[in-house]
């Protein structure tokens, strides 16, 4: 590891100790003497924003890192930090014990990997390209047919968080491969998690969390827009929304317990009344000229559950309406 990188890691660790802020994964590893033992060669294929961030985190953690990208002209910054730029996919694959792929989709990854399948023998292939559970399972079947140890992954954080203790990445598939190279994976994110032998599970976790995230962000923006129609600035509403979100956080475990048990207690609010509440929001939003397609969809799913006999149950019963589209 270059001396300037070591000095930066030491400074980061010291700064974290002074301020209480979390140190980077690389800084923590260096402070505990972990970097010097990290000699597993790793290859990163795909140098978009996320691929570069992953390669950078590996370099920070002290791993010998080889990189390759289909489009020339990327990777020079990583080379300046100590990475090796491969001339071809085959050269890149042969350089790594762990081969990490991060490209636009599985069609792109297969187009790159198919011609170098013989070079992948004896290596651990980790595909963190975002796609569907079905595509992940197809890729796993292909890897198994060619005797390749395979993990499918999902990166759940923006590029600026890669390599930090708070960064979350999911991995699924070959458990022994995950355990063998767990230090590689935790260098990319301190909250790396193995979620099961089914290769599609990383994508399942990914899509489920993003389903929640994007519908929540949509509601956040729509709530601000509704308030703005009556002259309320978003900044004025923000502190109260933060308090409201803390209530939502409390619901996460309880809702999971209810759904897993197939129970939908309505003691603290029944679905029939909540549907009427949504109608009031719809009326106000339509009157103010806002798009209400998302709100209407939420109302329709809840109303469907009421029509199926769950009017006295709680909001978790909307899962019944979601499973029974009209």
Average pLDDT of every residue of the chain: 89
Judged by average pLDDT, the poorest of 12-16, 103-107, 153-157, 161-165 is 12-16
Query: Are 193 and 171 contacting, i.e. CB atoms less than 8 angstroms apart?
Result: yes
The pLDDT tens digits for 82-91 are 999 999 999 9
Judged by average pLDDT, the poorest of 7-11, 34-38, 146-150, 305-309 is 7-11
72 pLDDT above the threshold of 50: yes
Name the most confidently modeled range: 12-16, 70-74, 173-177, 245-249: 173-177
| pLDDT of amino acid 91 | 98
Query: Are 68 and 43 contacting, i.e. CB atoms less than 8 angstroms apart?
Result: yes
Using a pLDDT cut of 90, give the percent of the chain over it. 81
The pLDDT tens digits for 190-219 are 999 999 999 999 999 999 999 999 999 999
Residue 326 — pLDDT band, cuts 50, 70, 90? low
Distance, in Å, from the CA atom of 91 to the CA atom of 89, rounded to the nearest integer, reads 5
Report in angstroms the alpha-carbon separations of 94 from 74, 121, 239, 299, 312. Answer: 20, 9, 53, 55, 62
29 pLDDT above the threshold of 90: no
């Amino acid at each position: 590891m270059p001396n300037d990188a070591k000095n930066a890691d030491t400074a980061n660790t010291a700064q974290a100790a002074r301020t209480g802020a979390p140190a980077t994964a690389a800084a923590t590893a260096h402070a505990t003497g972990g970097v010097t033992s990290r000699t597993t060669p790793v290859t990163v294929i795909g140098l978009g924003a996320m691929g570069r961030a992953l390669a950078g985190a590996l370099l920070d953690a002290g791993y010998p890192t080889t990189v390759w990208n289909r489009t020339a002209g990327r990777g020079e910054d990583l080379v300046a930090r100590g990475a090796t730029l491969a001339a071809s996919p085959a050269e890149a694959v042969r350089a790594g014990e762990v081969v990490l792929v991060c490209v636009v989709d599985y069609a792109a990854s297969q187009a790159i990997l198919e011609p170098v399948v013989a070079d992948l023998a004896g290596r651990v292939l980790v595909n963190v390209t975002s796609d569907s559970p079905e595509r992940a399972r197809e890729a796993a079947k292909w890897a198994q047919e060619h005797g390749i140890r395979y993990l499918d992954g999902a990166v759940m954080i923006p590029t600026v968080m890669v390599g930090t203790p708070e960064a979350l990445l999911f991995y699924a598939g070959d458990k022994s491969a995950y355990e063998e190279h767990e230090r590689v994976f935790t260098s990319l994110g301190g909250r790396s998690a193995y979620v099961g032998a089914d290769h599609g599970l990383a994508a399942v976790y990914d899509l489920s969390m993003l389903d929640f995230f994007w519908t929540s962000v949509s509601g956040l923006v729509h709530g601000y827009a509704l308030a703005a129609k009556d002259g309320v600035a978003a900044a004025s509403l923000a502190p109260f929304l933060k308090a409201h979100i803390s209530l939502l956080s409390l619901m996460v475990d309880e809702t999971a317990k209810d759904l897993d048990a197939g129970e939908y207690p309505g003691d603290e609010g029944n679905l029939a009344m909540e549907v009427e509440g949504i109608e009031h929001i719809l009326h106000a939003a339509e009157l103010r000229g806002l798009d209400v397609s998302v709100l209407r969809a939420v109302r329709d799913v809840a109303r469907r559950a009421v029509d199926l006999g769950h009017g006295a149950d709680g909001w978790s019963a909307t899962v019944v309406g979601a499973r029974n589209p009209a």
